[in-house]
Amino acid sequence: MSEARRIPFNNPGWAGNTGEFQLTEAQVRGDEYVGKRPPEGGHPSGTSTYPYMLAEKDPEAPLFEGAYQERFEKIRSRYPDARSALLPSLGMAQELRGHLSPETMEQVAQLLGLSPAYVRGVATFYTMYNKRPVGRFLIQVCTNISCSLCGGDDVLQAFLNNTGTEMGETSEDGNFTVMEAECLAGCGFPTTVQINSRYYENVMPKDVPEILERLKAQGE
Partner 1 sequence: MAYPYTHEKEVRILSKHFGEPEARTVEGWKARGGYQTLSMAFEMGRNAIIDEVKASGLRGRGGAGFPAGVKWSFMPQDGGRPHYLLCNADESEPGTFKDRELLRWAPHQVIEGMIIAAYAIRAEQAYVYCRGEFFETTQILARAIEEAYEAGYLGKDILGSGVNVDITVHCGGGAYICGEETALMNSLEGRRGTPRIKPPFPAQAGYMGMPSTVNNVETLSSIPFIIQEGADAYRANGTAESPGTKLFCVSGHVRRPGNYELPLGFPLMELIDDVCGGMKEGRTLKGVIPGGSSVPILNAEECANCEMSFEGVIAAGSQLGCAAVIVMDDSTDIVKEVRRMVGFYAHESCGQCTPCREGSAWAEKILRRIEEGRGTEEDLDTLMEVTSQMEGTTICVLSDSVAAPVQSSINKFREEYLSRIRTGEKAGVA
Partner 2 sequence: MMTDQQSPQTVTMRIDGREVTVPTGTTILRAAESVGIEIPHYCYHPGLSSPAMCRLCLVEVEGWPKPAPACKTTVAEGQVVHIESEMAQAQRTGVLEFYLLNHPLDCPICDQSGECQLQDYVFAQGREHGRGREPKRVLGRDDFGGDVLFNGDRCVMCTRCVRFMREVAEDERLCVVERGNRAVIDTFFDEGLEGSPFAGNIVDICPVGALVSKDFLHKARAWDLDRTPSVCPSCSQGCNITLQTRDDLVQRLKPRENMDVNGWWMCDFGRHNYEWINRVDRVEEPLVNGETQGWPEALGSLLGRLKEAKGEVKAVTWAHSTNEEMGLLKAMMEELGGSEVVYRSPRTVGELQLPGFPLLARREDLAPNVRGAEILGFTRVGDEEAEGGLDDLATHKGVLIVVGDPLEDQNENFGAQAELFIYLGSYLSKVAGNAHYVLPTTTFAEQEGSYTNVQGRVQRFWPGIRSPGSARPGWLILGALFAEFTETEAPIGADQAFVQVAKGVPEFGEITYRDMGTRGAPARKSAGVAGD
Rounded least distance, CB 105 to partner 1, Å? 13
Q: Are 43 and 72 in contact (CB under 8 A)?
A: no
105 is a site residue for partner 2 (CB under 8 A): yes
Complex with partner 1: residue 17 or 175, whichever CB lies closer: 17
Alpha helix stretches (DSSP H) within the chain? 25-29, 31-34, 66-77, 86-97, 102-112, 116-125, 145-149, 152-163, 208-218
Rounded CA separation 37/116 (Å): 31
Burial bucket for residue 32 (CB in 10 Å: 0-12, 13-18, 19+): exposed
Residues ≥6 apart with Cβ < 8 Å to 179: 138, 139, 140, 141, 167, 168
Which of partner 1, partner 2, none does 99 bind, CB closer than 5 to 8 A by kind?
none
- The site for partner 1 (CB under 8 A) is made up of 13, 15-16, 18, 20-23, 27, 29-30, 32-35, 37, 42-46, 48-49, 51-52, 78-88, 90-91, 112, 114, 121-123, 125-129, 143-146, 148-150, 182-190, 194, 197-199
Which of partner 1, partner 2, none does 86 bind, CB closer than 5 to 8 A by kind?
partner 1
Q: Which of 116, 133, 151, 205 binds partner 2 (CB under 8 A)?
A: 116
Complex with partner 2: residue 45 or 124, whichever CB lies closer: 124
* Per-residue CA distances from 137 to 12, 91, 219 (Å): 16, 17, 8
Which of partner 1, partner 2, none does 115 bind, CB closer than 5 to 8 A by kind?
partner 2
- Interface with partner 2 by CB under 8 A: which residues? 102, 105-106, 114-118, 120-121, 124-125
